[in-house]
Amino acid sequence: MFIPLEVQCHYIFSLKAPQQDRFTMEKNVSHKLTFLDVLIVNKNPNFSLTIVYRQRIFTGLLTNYLSFTSYSYKVGLTKALVDRAYL
In the structure, what pLDDT confidence band is assigned to residue 31 with cuts at 50, 70 and 90? confident
Query: Are 26 and 34 a contacting pair, CB within 8 Å?
Result: yes
In this predicted structure, the answer to whether residue 18 has a pLDDT above a threshold of 70 is: no
**Residues 54, 57, 59, 62, CA torsion sign:** negative
Domain extent listing, the chain: 5-85
Tens-digit pLDDT profile for residues 58-81: 888 888 888 898 999 989 988 888
pLDDT value for 59: 83
Q: Determine the pLDDT at residue 63.
A: 84
